[in-house]
Amino acid sequence: MHIVVCIKQVPETTDIGWDSKTGTLMREGAGGILNPNDKNALEAALQLKEKHGGTVTALSMGPPQAEDALRETLSMGVDKAILLSDEQFAGADTLSTSCALRLALKKIARFDLVLCGKESSDAATAQVGPQLAELLNLPQLTYATEVSIKSNSVRIKQKLEDGFRILETSFPALITVERELNQPRIPPMDSIMEAYRDKEVQVLRAEDLGGDKEHFGLKGSPTQSRKVYSKKVKKGKVTILQGEPDEIARELIQTLKHKGLLRGLNVT
């Protein structure tokens, strides 16, 4: 079994700049971490490998520093790490990200499962997994809180707004996973050192993927930002209630009632 896990490097902080001309984030130089939700996808893939055998590949599209996130996947135990990195990929929206990942997966040729996080911690659209499944014409099992393999099929417990349901499909398939699926492993120090010192991250450029370069990066992105701005937070008036707890509670209730915020509630 060959499992490919799509991972994204996300900024460590929300304090990153914007390019006011293109409306895109300026991630180059910003500290990055492995998207936390993708660690759950990696953990699931590694557990499946431990149980059923096979190999795990981590795949990411991003600027050169995304190599660090891929080295972290190597330290966790993936067999191979591939980075799609090229100026042509810059400014990609979710569709153009999915297009590049699709071409890479076609190049990888044989895989049984593709695992993605449900969402990234920065843009958080939760679109890349489902788009990739559509582009690859794969069945998609989303929001998995459990994943298991039974001979020729994969089964998940899918989280819904008001409950769960069990979904099952044959291979190949794409799964997006929830944070509560598992507790990602913390790699031991020697694996970390080995991942940074001895292991290789394969880098593929746009020309290696083939495909129409009009589909890559900002050019291939139907989503264009019209305006980027930071919201100004208006400071409201702060009232500090002081006194005995029951006095404060009474005063708070009167204030909320006065503002019409307790309408419909039976509070005296």
Ligand X SMILES: Cc1cc2nc3c(=O)[nH]c(=O)nc-3n(C[C@H](O)[C@H](O)[C@H](O)COP(=O)(O)OP(=O)(O)OC[C@H]3O[C@@H](n4cnc5c(N)ncnc54)[C@H](O)[C@@H]3O)c2cc1C
Question: Residues interacting with ligand X, by CB under 6 A?
Answer: 6-8, 24-25, 27, 35, 37-38, 41, 60-62, 90-94, 97, 101, 116-117, 119-120, 122-129, 221, 223-225
Alpha-carbon distance 144 to 48, whole Å?
14
The distance of closest approach from Cβ of residue 174 to ligand X in the complex, given in angstroms and rounded to an integer, is 10
For residue 68, what are the contacts with CB-CB under 8 A and spacing of at least 6? 9, 32
Alpha-carbon distance 11 to 28, whole Å?
10
Which of 117, 172 has the CB closer to ligand X?
Answer: 117
Which of 27, 49 has the CB closer to ligand X?
Answer: 27
Alpha-carbon distance 110 to 213, whole Å?
24
Which of 75, 221 has the CB closer to ligand X?
Answer: 221
Place of tokens 């099952």: 168
Which of 94, 182 has the CB closer to ligand X?
Answer: 94
Which of 1, 126 has the CB closer to ligand X?
Answer: 126
Which of 193, 228 has the CB closer to ligand X?
Answer: 228
The distance of closest approach from Cβ of residue 60 to ligand X in the complex, given in angstroms and rounded to an integer, is 4
The distance of closest approach from Cβ of residue 164 to ligand X in the complex, given in angstroms and rounded to an integer, is 21
Residue nearest to ligand X (CB): 117
Closest-CA residue to 117 (of 4, 12, 41): 41
Do residues 97 and 135 touch, judged by C-beta distance below 8 A? no
195 backbone dihedrals φ, ψ, rounded to 5°: -65, -35
The distance of closest approach from Cβ of residue 217 to ligand X in the complex, given in angstroms and rounded to an integer, is 8
Q: Cβ atoms within 10 A of the Cβ of 222, count?
A: 8
88 backbone dihedrals φ, ψ, rounded to 5°: -65, -20
The distance of closest approach from Cβ of residue 70 to ligand X in the complex, given in angstroms and rounded to an integer, is 10
The distance of closest approach from Cβ of residue 63 to ligand X in the complex, given in angstroms and rounded to an integer, is 7
Rounded to 5°, the CA angle 74-80-82 comes to 100
CA dihedral 9, 218, 129, 137 (to 10 degrees): -140
